[in-house]
Amino acid sequence: MKFLLAALLLAITYLGWRHWRKTAQARYLDDFPLHKLLDRRLAARRPELDAAQRATVLDGLREYFLFCRQAGRRMVAMPSQAADDAWHEFILFTRQYDAFCRQAFGRFLHHTPAEAMRSPTQASEGLRRAWRLACAHEGIDRNKPDRLPRLFALDAHLGIAGGFAYQLDCMAARQGGDASGYCASHIGCSSGYGGGGGSGCSGDSDSGYSGSDSGSSGCGGGCGGGGD
């Protein structure tokens, strides 16, 4: 009996500690001064963006970090080139970035370029995970979305050169003669892994590729994996 009570107390203590840790990480991520740290660096990298637009990009990066925290060690692809640029600038502050990762995630968050991922499937799964988390965050039906999540709409909204532009209704766009961009229509279909009229980004395969460039994954990189 004493052993069972001790085990129960230990389990309750552990669960309480985990809840406190997750709450502390979320608060730290919300309060971290990303804008103050990165605005000037992002302005130099993307001089075409004004202050309000840069703030939007950095808000997108904060959302992405939130998704990485929620996903744990599972891969989350980056669906915005602009937010990926800001992430690159953050990594250059090596000590600050390392300290941020330890506080926000409990580990170092690695950046993995799409071309360095183990396979196209890894990039595809990471993009679907980003879609599911972004839709849940904004209350969007991931299977029948009525709009793109902010992080997926960011590059097109800002007119980012070399950015990732996603089409919500890919079939209508193609019928109208617009074959540009990446297809987001069916990323969340069939338990989040495609199906029906298409799958992943492409609408016709599970490769994670789509739109005008079948050699691109539609994501700038990803977080996940790696050791402490």
Q: What is the DSSP string of 130-177?
A: HHHHHHHHHT--SSS-SS--HHHHHHHHHT-TT---EESSHHHHHHTT
| pLDDT given for residue 223 in this prediction | 61
Q: According to the model, what pLDDT value does residue 182 have? A: 78
Identify the three-state secondary structure at position 136: helix
Show pLDDT as tens, one digit a residue, over the chain (228 residues).
Answer: 766 666 666 666 655 545 445 677 678 999 999 999 999 999 999 999 999 999 999 999 999 999 999 999 899 999 999 999 999 999 999 999 999 999 999 999 998 776 656 666 777 888 999 999 999 999 999 888 999 999 999 999 999 998 999 988 776 656 655 556 677 766 765 333 332 222 222 222 222 323 333 333 455 566 654 333
Q: Residue 137 has what pLDDT?
A: 96
For the chain, the C-alpha Rg in angstroms (whole number) is 19
Strand extents, DSSP E, 57-212: 76-77, 166-167, 182-183
Looking at residue 198, its pLDDT comes to: 23
pLDDT at 120: 63
Closest CA to 106 of 30, 37, 21, 12: 21
pTM of this structure: 0.74
> For residue 206, what pLDDT is reported?
28
